[in-house]
Amino acid sequence: MTRLLTVTDLHVYYGSVHALKGVSLEVAEGEVVALLGANGAGKTTLLRTISGLVRPRQGEIRLGDRVITHLPAHEIVALGVAHAPEGRRVFGTLTVEENLTLGAYVRGATPEVEETRAWVYDLFPRLRERRRQMAGTLSGGEQQMLAIGRALMARPRLLLLDEPSLGLAPLLVQSIFRTIAEIARQGVTILLVEQNARAALRLAQRGYVLTTGTILASGSAAELMAGDRVKAAYLSGRSALTS
């Protein structure tokens, strides 16, 4: 398989705090790869570094053959990397449709953008129903749909998803994960950060387990599900493998 994302020996600091300590990973085109670990393990930092929001002190990030390590975030988006951040961070005083339009800012106003918006509405019919509604008045689940939809408006080759199930009821989590699976089936490569390890590994082909800024384990989803290292990376096995 063709490697789409290659991260090599990545070191990130927040002041004197060494947040990522030599992290290396790969994501092939068409894969869903899960990034697992407890709170504070460095998962969000890794996604923010890949998307250009945090600068590494050492290491390299490649998208295909292109080194993107020190590119500004908007250039990384233009190259095909979109990020749906933890906590959704929708623009509450803008409508659903205006939020989606902002997601396509690097593409300009083109017919292809309207096609992408129609695709997002097909993935998330609730957003079509709410398209004139202020984003701040949406439910938590609807805001998560909007955060993912806004990222998809960039028509990414690689989608970075940070905790898409956070704070959602179980039925909504199932719905969100079904849609993520559909996005993957339609050809978008996904790097998924998720506290619900069992749900993530059901969706992903492979995964990495991160603990205190280092990769503890990696392997196929089946291998990680069957092993003990996922459980060891969390405060308890129960919190790691919630259903």
Residue ranges of the domains in the chain? 1-80+156-165+187-243
Structure tokens at 164: 């898409």
Residue 169: the pLDDT is 81
Which strand (E) or helix (H) includes residue 219? strand 214-220
Residue 88: the pLDDT is 67
Signed CA dihedral, 238, 239, 241, 243: sign only: positive
pLDDT over threshold 60, residue 212: yes
**pLDDT range class, residue 204, cuts 50, 70, 90:** very high
Among residues 11, 7, 47, the alpha carbon closest in space to that of 25 is found at: 7
Residue 6: the pLDDT is 98
* CATH architecture for the domain at 1-80+156-165+187-243: 3-Layer(aba) Sandwich (3.40)
Q: By mean pLDDT, which of 3-7, 112-116, 169-173 is the weakest?
A: 169-173
pTM of the model: 0.89
DSSP secondary-structure letter at 133? S
**pLDDT range class, residue 155, cuts 50, 70, 90:** very high
For 165, counting Cβ atoms within 10 Å of its Cβ (0-12 exposed, 13-18 middle, 19+ buried), the class is buried
Q: By mean pLDDT, which of 90-99, 112-121, 161-170 is the weakest?
A: 161-170
